[in-house]
Amino acid sequence: MKELIEYIARSLATNPDAVKVTETVEDGQIILRLEVAAEDKGKVIGRQGRVAQAMRVLLRVAAVKDGTRAMLEIV
């Protein structure tokens, strides 16, 4: 799941080397924190948050396939 989010964010970002995804587990739920360069935040979030929502949906589908729960935070 971490690789999926990292791949999508790197594809969208102007500065793909600044993309960083950290994974933590809290209360049985996987939390992925996505950090990008300041100039790429708008691209990753998208208009009215549509790109971010699409990334969250894909993450949720991947988590269900693994039998876990996952959440994406964009920092």
Residue 2 pLDDT level (bands cut at 50, 70, 90)? very high
Which run of H or of E encompasses 46? none
Closest by alpha carbon to 10, among 30, 47, 48, 37?
A: 37
pTM, rounded to two decimals? 0.90
What is the widest separation between alpha-carbon atoms in the chain?
Answer: 35
pLDDT in tens, 8-61: 999 999 999 999 999 999 998 999 999 999 999 999 999 999 999 999 999 999
57/41 Cα distance (integer angstroms) = 18
Q: Which CATH architecture has domain 2-74?
A: 2-Layer Sandwich (3.30)
